[in-house]
Amino acid sequence: MAHPFVTPENEKWREIARAVAEESVRPVAKKYDEEQTYPWEVKEAFARSGLSGVWIPTEYGGAGGGILDLCICVEELSRACGGVGVAYAVNALGSLPILLAGTDEQKRRFLPPIAKGEKLISFGLSEKFSGSDAGSMRCRAERVGDEYVLNGEKKWNTNGGVADIFTVFAVTDPESKSRRISALLLERGTPGFTIGKVEDKMGIRCVPVVEIHFENCRVPASSILGGQPGYGFQHAMMTLDNARPAVAAQGLGLAQGALDYALLYATKREQFGQPIASFQMIQQMLAEMDTKVAAARSLVYAAAAALDRKLPDTTRLSAQSKLFATDVAMQVTTDAVQIFGGYGYMKDYPIEKYMRDAKITQIYEGTNQVQRMVIARHLIKQAASLGHLSRYIPEEKQKGVNA
């Protein structure tokens, strides 16, 4: 269905991503979910098709697309496998800080191999005691001469088990309130950098989520993102604003993929002598699922297009897209399992994987409870612009007095 934000160029990327999804992803989705191993053959398909650099500017070896192109590709890949959708999108998450805040030298060094699919990147923000409260992180980077010495650990590092490049956030000035955190760029193999625990996950099992440990890990001072320390928290928030629509697109793709299977099954499965799709209750479920998916798609595309056009108030719209689309993903995939009945609960059928993969989208890159907080804060700030309505509210009512 045509969408007002989508151009013919965007649709070309959809066609490419859908072809990769159907030819290279869907046939192996079950295998990599069971093995919990990284789909290297799929990564090579990304590189061959040009998907690896969709969001990276042409001057750094990419295709020059934007956030909307990224979201459309993530949607199509997640429609076939949520884990692969994450494995693809996390390279955008890791490289967006470089695109948004890196020096020209950092961009020219790190972005071309990512755009070509030669190297993978990861984003290190969360810690055991610092999840939603990113500002309370403990990982330290101390300046010693022309180097920074990293000590500490990062938790839930998506893609960390296979990445070559890491965007890591650490405390560089513990005494500062506003300039406490910096982002650093480093590569696998740096002395003092090790991969720790590999998580055994409920869903998105084909992409490795690991702990990262730093013990006197020395990196050049030039590794500081943007060349200036103290701006890491701002860089992280800018990155998440731009990346959250891609998480929303993961949820959107999972919801659409689950709806596809549920619709097909409902037309094939017979009970009481007729397909269950002929029953009013099943029709109601399908209609509601489809409507939620359509609404989520409009919000995701609107957020992505707004970011591409650098419109104001994108933080709220980005949070809304992530909140709504991932809640829809959980609702629709759960309803899809219900339509499959007992078969939906069995691993012989593909549908239960969609529900498992969907759950994490409500949690990472800012829980949906945090998204509600972000949205509410922006709404409260807007209250000042509504002062002209006060004349229609009796004063005693405004003060909470019962009249």
Active site residues: 365
Alpha-carbon distances, residue 309 vs 5, 68, 312, 378 (angstroms): 11, 10, 9, 20
CB 187 within 8 A of CB 164: yes
**C-beta atoms surrounding 48 within 10 Å:** 11
C-alpha 388/C-alpha 232 separation (Å) is: 39
CB 219 within 8 A of CB 140: no
Q: Which amino acid does the sequence have at 128?
A: K
Strands (E), 221-362: 270-271, 274-275
What is the largest distance, in Å, between two alpha-carbon atoms of the chain? Answer: 79
List, as own/partner pairs, every contact residues 1-7 make where C-beta atoms lie below 8 angstroms and the sequence separation is at least 24, other chains included. 1/294, 3/297, 3/298, 3/301, 5/68, 5/301, 5/302, 5/304, 5/305, 6/68, 6/72, 6/301
Strand-pair category, 140-144 with 121-124: unpaired
- The burial of 328, by beta-carbon neighbours within 10 Å (0-12 exposed, 13-18 middle, 19 or more buried), is given as buried
The owner of tokens 């093995």 is: 35
Main-chain dihedrals φ then ψ at residue 195, nearest 5 degrees: -90, 130
CB 353 within 8 A of CB 254: no
Alpha helices for 104-196 (secondary structure H): 104-115
